[in-house]
Amino acid sequence: MNDKSNLILPWLPENLESLNKQEEENRTQSILQINVDSKLKDHLEIVYASLNMLYDITISYKNQTDDELTIQYIGIRLFNSIVSSIKLLLAGYYQSSVILQRDILETGFLLDFFSIDQSKILDWKKSNNKQQSGKYRPSIIRKSLDNRDGFKERKREQIYQKMCEYAAHPTYPGIKLVAPKGLANIGPFFDTQYLKSLIEELAMRVPLFTLIYLRHFKSLPPGFLKIQADFLDKLKTWSKKYLKLDLSHIEINYIKEWVKLL
């Protein structure tokens, strides 16, 4: 006979339990809002399709080179940052979600940088902290990508700094992300406009970085090629509908056109 009187139940202080309840309520509201907005549903579906692709190549695929393994480790960070950002976003922690979106941005740029010269992968792996700062700090990565693409506007820098100012660094302008109507909120809260804007930001970047990630794996087995083809079909449909980009024949020039839209 089981004696339930001796059962130790999980316990949190009342205020933390209250926060958890509010997070769940926000998550429900967020999902309901997404379900009645076909655009948001499409955006979230392409993000989830990207996550599935990242997972399959990172976890299910057996690397054939040491460089591929290093890229897979970076893929783990990318995957975790994306899902964590979504979780915080749905729960109503918008500023915290943006902090992770900056990490997604930085990680995606690094993956793109390695596509310029894959010999840099091993050098990056073996670099100490001082060498990392001298050769691979985020500003150097962004400048290299802009030079490759011929971008003079430095839009990569602009969006990165905006995420720093409004989320990653404690600044006065950053208060806006916890005070949508001029009144600051402590803890999670629901805001339709923030929900929409941040899902759109994820949709603009996550599929692109997934595509860049895929390009590091040159000899995928047939089973993975089928998974890749399914993902690319979804990506082509979504990009044509929302970015007005024809990705019928995906190549670097089309990726460049996508980056311009960021």
DSSP assignment string, 153-183: S-HHHHHHHHHIIIIIS--SGGGGGG-TTSS
Let me know: does 206 contact 47? Beta carbons within 8 Å: yes
What is the structure's pLDDT at 14? 75
Q: Which ranges in 36-137 belong to alpha helices (H)? A: 38-55, 66-91, 94-116, 119-126, 129-135
- Distance, CA of 94 to CA of 167 (rounded, Å): 9
- Distance, CA of 224 to CA of 51 (rounded, Å): 15
What is the structure's pLDDT at 30? 98
Let me know: does 112 contact 212? Beta carbons within 8 Å: yes
Here the tokens at position 217 are 């794996």
With residue 141 as reference, give the H or E element that holds it: helix 138-149
The residue among 181, 175, 212, 180 whose CA lies nearest residue 197 is 180
CA count, 13 A, side-chain hemisphere, 76:
8
What is the structure's pLDDT at 9? 58
- Check residue 4 and report its DSSP letter: G
- Distance, CA of 24 to CA of 192 (rounded, Å): 16
- Distance, CA of 111 to CA of 62 (rounded, Å): 19
Let me know: does 140 contact 148? Beta carbons within 8 Å: no
Let me know: does 79 contact 71? Beta carbons within 8 Å: no
- Distance, CA of 85 to CA of 93 (rounded, Å): 9
pLDDT in tens, the chain (262 residues): 455 555 565 666 777 788 889 999 999 999 999 999 999 999 999 999 999 999 999 999 999 999 999 999 999 999 999 999 999 999 999 999 999 999 999 999 999 999 999 999 999 999 999 998 999 999 999 999 999 999 888 999 999 999 999 999 999 999 999 998 888 889 999 999 999 999 999 999 999 999 999 999 988 888 888 888 889 999 999 999 999 888 776 654 445 555 555 5
The residue among 256, 254, 252, 260 whose CA lies nearest residue 215 is 252
What are the sequence ranges of the domains in the chain? 14-261
